Every structure is written in C-alpha cells, then in structure tokens.
A = this chain, B = another copy of it.
Amino acid sequence: MKNKKINNALISVSDKSGLEKLLKNLSKYKINIISSGGTFKKIKKLGYKCQEISKYTKFNEMLDGRVKTLHPKIHAGILNDRSNKKHRREMLKKNFKNIDLVIVNFYPFLQVTKNKNQRRIIENIDIGGPTMVRAAAKNFKNVSIITNTGDYDELIRELRRHNGDTSLKFRENLARKAFGQTSYYDSIISNWFNKKLNIKFPEIRTIYGKKISQLRYGENPHQQGSLYLIDENLGLKKIKGKALSFNNYNDIFTGLEILGSFKKPGTVIIKHANPSGASINGSPIRTFEESFDCDPVSAFGGVVVCNFKITKKIARKMSSIFFEVILFKGIEKEALKVFETKKNLILIDISKFKNQIGQQIKYFNNSFLVQDRNSKVIDNKKIKFVTKLKPNKKELKYAEFALNICKYVKSNSIVITKGFSTIGIGAGQPSRLDSCKIATQKASKFQIKKLKNSIAASDAFFPFTDGVKKLIKSGVKLIIQPGGSIRDKESIEVANKAKIKMIFTNIRHFNH
C-alpha cells in the first residue's frame, strides 16, 4: 500500500512541551486536530484550529471526563484497516473519518504513586489514553502513534520526507514504543496494587524499568549493556570521574547492600562483587584503614563504599591508594581538592541513596527466581551457646558483625574478624574447608598479629570438623555458625577441647 496523507490527528497529552513546534508543522500539511480538555485549551491558546472531541463524536463527555474518547467514532477511526474494502464501506456508511495520527502521553504515574492519597492514585489510572494508544499501535499499518514528546522531531522529519505522511517502518517502531509505554504503565499499577495488598509472590508478575544509562559495554567488552531504573531516582550523585561501567555498578550495588546493614560509621571495599574488607571499628578513618588492611592486595583497584563524610584527612589517606570508585555521604571541599589530580578516580555521593526493603530477583534463561531479601543476621530466640565457655555480650556483638559480613560474601563463606573489622575473608568455594583455608591464609598473610583470639563466622554449618580445627589452629577463639550438621556434636567437642566458644544461630546465610 502506498503512503497517503495524514488527514486527522488526535492529540491528548499530559506533557505539553514541544506542542507549538509540532502544531506548526502539522498545520503545514493541513492536518485537522481533534482534542479535548487541557490539550484543547492549550492548542487554541497557541492559535491553532482544533475540534473538541465531544463535538467530533457528538457525544458530550460524562462522569467528569471518565468517558470521553471511549466512543466508536474515535476507535473505528483509529482501528479500521484502510486496505479492507468492507471496513471502508462501513466507515463510509457511518460517515466516520480516519484518524491517522494519535499523539497521547500519560500522566507520570510513578510520581503519583508516591502520593499517600489512594483515591487520587486510583483516579489517575488512565483508561481512555492507553486504549487509544493500544488501538493506534495495533493498527500501525495505517496509524502513527506518538507516546513521547521526544519523537516529535522525527515525526516532523517523516512528514517532510513523505509529504505529509509517514513510512511503515517508522510507524512500526512507534507501535513498539507505544506497547513499551502501556506495559510500563500497567506494570507500575500492578506492582502498586501488589505492594498495597502485601502480595509478595503474585501469580503473574511484571518488572518495569527505564533505561538511564547505555553503558560502554557489559561485564566484558564484547557484551553490550545498559542500566535500567525501577524507581524514580537511583540515588547516586557522581561528583567526579568518567562514566560508570557495568562492573562498577555491580560492585557498587553489592557494597551499598552491605553498607545498608551498618548502624555505625563503616567502610566496605568491594572487588569482583565480594567484600575484600569491611569495618565499623570506631572512627570513620579507622574503619577505612581497617577494611583496607584486611587484604591490601585485593583492595587495589577496588570500590570503596562508606557511610560518612569525607574529610581532608580521610581523603589524603584514601588518595594514597589506587581505587576505581569511592562512595560516601558528603565530601568536604578541601577533601575534594585532594582527589583533583586522580584522573581515573570516580567519586559518588550516596547521601540520597535509599535501600529498598524489596526482593531479590535472579534472572535465568527463560525464568526468574524471586525471594525475600535476607534481612536477618541472628535471632535471639534461636541462638544457642553450645560450648562450655559462653561468649559475653561484647563478644556476641563482635560475632554478629562477623556473621553479618559473612552473609554478603559468596557461599561457601568464612569471615574472620577482630573487633568490628574483618581480618580474613574466604569466599566462593564449593568446599567449606577451602573457604576456611583461604580465610586463615589471608589473615595469616596480612593480619597475623590479630589472628590470636579472633572470631570466625560461617554462612552454613560445618559438615566435618576439619574446618573448625583449621580455624582454631590459626587462633580463632569464637566460632559463630548456624549448626545443623549431623556432626555438630563432634564440632562442639573439638571446640570444647580447644577451650574456644561456639554459637549456633539456627539461621543459614547462603548467598550465591
């Protein structure tokens, strides 16, 4: 079918920017405009001709505008197949005109849902708009559907190119975008309802996002990648440095999750999505130093995440080491100057970052797993002190810190700590004994003095006593673990024999 001229356009927009330029161009091609409400008023005000929808349909809008465009004359005008003789006959018989261009954008619903007034939120669920958009998109063979003011310029160019019409290719792409908008819109509504009614695992689930960054590449240079935002605001304010990479984001998000569990000033350093060190041991600068000292080799080139303000003193300390990204809550002017010469360093203020309670989603081939976040560390009702020697309150606090970090290290994980600082982290091994070996080897290498009387946390039970023995041998005096192995008794015996303390939490912390 050859291109023909667009005769009638229906415009109903919440975002009225760019309208003047668009109207100027539509008028060049003598395109009749149909509109209503605020858009109608705006068009008239801008000095362009426009017919009101109610006059066009000869049906007065009713129910405070709830029923306005839901009319056969509008929808037949959009939906009829211009190449179908029967359709053409029916249109003629009813004296209905074709609507060849539909320009509709929705009220920003995500913002509305931030509103506490439920009635207002529901009132803002648009019925007429999405119906027109969907109808026009379905009939992209004949109709152009614009759902984004950002597409006005391309529409204008198309009209010029095709002397008042558009190409099929252009229309199909617009239809694609239109269904992106309607699915996004309804996904927000759907998720809002699920949240409101506290349905965590609905039978049907959609996840929505807006692309906020086309990344230079994905996890590796031969993979393309992008970042999508679910909420309205990522909460990361870049102060300095180049664009963040896929792996930067991956590390940052891992770090922010750990940081979200800190109730005191603290630092965590991330490398390859695992913490290489973490500390809440005293002053801000000390937490940085101790998280770095845990594994100064691995921390090299890592991502530093901290929940305090960067002073000049801290900046000087940090700037003596090579890091890729440093994240913080505020930075002093003088401190920023210290970093000035660091060309490749990225600085990010996370003051506005908010940890959502949300869920974790793991996406695979043709499915995804959804689960609650692991928001517990210990449960006082479930905890058991299983050895003859019992930890005191302070030691219990230290042990809880160790287990909290262990929770975020990829399984199997063993974390050795001193005070509120990690001194050895064993991550990502299929065998628990291997994780014990790595943690003790690391601690022996960099923190040998602190190993004596240290604390070790394990994300899951010890299937054999070998790991327990390994830890004890290196100097660990308190082990916190879920328990639950058929060989628990043996582990307790080993602990008693060595006169160390052991805590069973009855809470496992796998993290893959």
Residue A295 lies at the interface, judged by CB distance under 8 Å to chain B:
yes
Distance in angstroms from A464 CB to nearest chain B CB is: 10
Assembly CA distance A362 to B363 (angstroms): 7
Contact across chains for A431 and B298 when beta carbons are under 8 A apart: yes
Q: Which of A244-301 contact B (CB under 8 A)?
A: 246-247, 249-250, 253, 256-257, 271-274, 276, 295, 297-299
Residue A1 lies at the interface, judged by CB distance under 8 Å to chain B:
no
Residue of A62, A86, A210 with highest tally of chain B CB at under 10 A: A62
Residue A240 lies at the interface, judged by CB distance under 8 Å to chain B:
no
Contact across chains for B189 and A186 when beta carbons are under 8 A apart: no
Contact across chains for A430 and B214 when beta carbons are under 8 A apart: no
Closest residue on chain B to residue A124 by CB atoms: B138
Report the count of interface residues on A (CB-CB < 8 A): 135
Closest residue on chain B to residue A194 by CB atoms: B176
Chain B residues with CB under 8 A of A247: 510, 512
Distance in angstroms from A371 CB to nearest chain B CB is: 3
Closest residue on chain B to residue A180 by CB atoms: B204
Chain B residues with CB under 8 A of A231: 366-367
Chain B residues with CB under 8 A of A199: 176
Contact across chains for A179 and B201 when beta carbons are under 8 A apart: no
Chain A residues with a Cβ under 8 A of chain B: 59, 62-64, 66-67, 70-72, 74-76, 79-81, 84, 86-87, 90, 94, 122, 125, 127, 130-131, 134-135, 137-138, 172-173, 175-177, 179-184, 186-187, 189-190, 193-194, 196-197, 199-212, 214-215, 218-231, 234-235, 246-247, 249-250, 253, 256-257, 271-274, 276, 295, 297-299, 302, 354-356, 358, 360-374, 376, 410-412, 427-431, 433-434, 438, 442, 507-512
Contact across chains for A428 and B427 when beta carbons are under 8 A apart: yes
Contacting residue for A367 out of B127, B230, B434, CB 8 A: B230
The binding surface of chain A is classed by DSSP as: mixed
Q: Given A179-B190, A508-B221, A429–B430 Cβ distance below 8 Å?
A: no
Assembly CA distance A272 to B411 (angstroms): 7
Assembly CA distance A79 to B177 (angstroms): 28
Residue of A173, A219, A224, A229 with highest tally of chain B CB at under 10 A: A219
Q: Given A180-B205, A428-B274, A367–B72 Cβ distance below 8 Å?
A: no
Closest residue on chain B to residue A89 by CB atoms: B62
Contact across chains for B207 and A207 when beta carbons are under 8 A apart: yes
Residue of A205, A219, A365, A412 with highest tally of chain B CB at under 10 A: A365
Contact across chains for A203 and B211 when beta carbons are under 8 A apart: yes
Contact across chains for A372 and B508 when beta carbons are under 8 A apart: no
Assembly CA distance A227 to B371 (angstroms): 9
Assembly CA distance A175 to B84 (angstroms): 37
Chain B residues with CB under 8 A of A196: 176
Contact across chains for A173 and B197 when beta carbons are under 8 A apart: yes
Contact across chains for B86 and A64 when beta carbons are under 8 A apart: yes
Distance in angstroms from A103 CB to nearest chain B CB is: 17
Contact across chains for A369 and B410 when beta carbons are under 8 A apart: no
Contact across chains for A125 and B134 when beta carbons are under 8 A apart: yes
Contacting residue for A276 out of B209, B225, B373, B430, CB 8 A: B430
Assembly CA distance A78 to B49 (angstroms): 33
Assembly CA distance A194 to B199 (angstroms): 29
Contacting residue for A76 out of B63, B125, B179, B295, CB 8 A: B63
Distance in angstroms from A92 CB to nearest chain B CB is: 11
Q: Given A228-B367, A363-B361, A412-B272, A62–B356 Cβ distance below 8 Å?
A: no
User: 16 additional contacts, CB 8 Å, given A219-B512, A257-B365?
Assistant: A63-B81, A67-B72, A67-B79, A201-B214, A204-B210, A206-B207, A207-B363, A219-B360, A221-B508, A222-B374, A222-B376, A227-B370, A230-B366, A249-B369, A298-B431, A358-B366
Contact across chains for B172 and A183 when beta carbons are under 8 A apart: no
Q: Given A79-B127, A509-B220, A228–B370 Cβ distance below 8 Å?
A: yes
Assembly CA distance A365 to B354 (angstroms): 9
Q: Given A207-B363, A509-B220, A430–B298 Cβ distance below 8 Å?
A: yes
Q: Given A194-B180, A211-B202, A365-B257, A295–B430 Cβ distance below 8 Å?
A: yes
